[in-house]
């Protein structure tokens, strides 16, 4: 594995890549945790719910915020047709390909799979509306197209207050309308508030630095996690909590990484740069790892560690092979 060089780290906002690295690590842990529960390997339901909720409270909203932070600048850099077509190659092609690869991995895993598939006929399905974790790629695709059309055909680039106002309207609208609750639009609308929050944040220069900012952000994150167990389980509360937790987590990460480029930070930055490939491949690799380990030993901690490492090391191996015979973009990486 080659970590990003310090010179390249300074050329971009390290904290954004580090945040993506933290986020994708949480995604891997969360998916491994849920997979083990689906396979009946977690005996304590309260422990499962606690860890699952602490992770799921914010890890996906944080990814949508991060996507929004850099989207407007990128969308304005290229011709409209090129910017739109890139969403097909970067989001829809990986969604389609890895949906079938993941289904094939489930079939091959047999009884060890968290969701069993019976027979190759189980692969005869249409990948849309999206299933499993690939629905987040579809949500991003719809959000990207909507914002791209808005800023290129209607309004032009918008300032932070306009994006913040749109975020508030979307959060309220998606929380109280039934039109977002379909397999085609649910994720796109319910995470649109986070995406638009990222667009607002991307137009500002406010970035917390220093020990005081770190302590305040960390206390806010802990307090919000505790509060999350007392809030009503409504869509509005879930969206607001996810955005607030994500912003406090991003503040902690920025305060920790500002002006630094140590090896650990560069490791997380590498995970962030590779987050798309890890997101696509880790479930397939988890399925294979769990299939092997379930036949050897039931140790929960071993499954968690091995599954997470499989997602990272397996991606490196896939990259190495694909680069020898073609381009990683062929398989959506």
Q: Whats the size of the chain, residue-wise?
A: 333
What are the pLDDT digits (tens) for 109-148? 555 455 555 555 556 678 888 888 889 999 999 999 999 9
What are the pLDDT digits (tens) for 146-169? 999 999 999 999 999 999 999 999
Locate 242 and state its tokens. Answer: 């996810």
pTM: 0.86
Per-residue model confidence (pLDDT) at position 1: 46
Mean pLDDT of 209-224: 93
From CA 220, how far away is CA 215, in angstroms rounded? 8
Percent of the chain with pLDDT strictly greater than 70: 77
Is residue 9 predicted with pLDDT exceeding 50? no
What are the pLDDT digits (tens) for 47-94? 889 999 999 999 999 999 999 999 999 999 999 999 999 999 999 999
Mean pLDDT of 258-275: 82
């Amino acid at each position: 594995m080659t970590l990003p060089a310090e010179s390249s780290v300074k050329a971009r906002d390290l904290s954004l890549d580090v945040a993506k690295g933290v986020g994708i690590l949480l995604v891997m842990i969360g998916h491994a945790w849920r997979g083990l529960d689906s396979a009946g390997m977690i005996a304590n339901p309260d422990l499962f719910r606690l860890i699952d909720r602490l992770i799921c409270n914010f890890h996906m909203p944080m990814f949508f915020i991060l996507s929004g932070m850099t989207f407007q600048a990128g969308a304005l850099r290229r011709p409209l047709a090129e910017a739109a077509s890139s969403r097909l190659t970067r989001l829809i092609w990986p969604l389609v390909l890895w949906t079938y690869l993941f289904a094939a991995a489930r079939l091959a895993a047999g009884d060890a799979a968290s969701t069993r598939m019976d027979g190759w006929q189980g692969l005869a399905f249409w990948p849309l509306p999206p299933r499993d974790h690939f629905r987040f790629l579809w949500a991003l695709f719809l959000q990207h197209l909507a914002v791209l059309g808005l800023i290129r055909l209607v309004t032009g680039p918008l300032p932070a207050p306009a994006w913040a106002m749109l975020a508030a309207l979307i959060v309220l609208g998606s929380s109280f309308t039934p039109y977002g609750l379909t397999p085609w639009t649910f994720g796109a609308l319910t995470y649109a508030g986070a995406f638009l929050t990222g667009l607002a944040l991307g137009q500002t220069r406010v970035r917390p630095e220093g020990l005081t900012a770190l302590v305040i952000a960390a206390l806010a994150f802990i307090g919000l996690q505790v509060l999350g167990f007392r809030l009503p389980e409504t869509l509005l509360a879930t969206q607001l909590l996810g955005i607030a937790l994500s912003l406090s987590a991003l503040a902690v990460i920025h305060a920790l990484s500002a002006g630094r480029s140590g090896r650990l930070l560069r490791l997380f930055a590498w995970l962030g740069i590779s987050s798309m490939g890890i997101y696509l491949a880790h479930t397939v690799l988890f399925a294979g790892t769990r299939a092997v380990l379930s036949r050897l030993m039931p140790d929960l901690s071993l499954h968690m560690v091995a599954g997470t490492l499989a997602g990272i090391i397996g991606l490196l191996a896939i990259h190495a092979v694909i680069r020898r015979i073609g381009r990683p973009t062929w398989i959506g990486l």
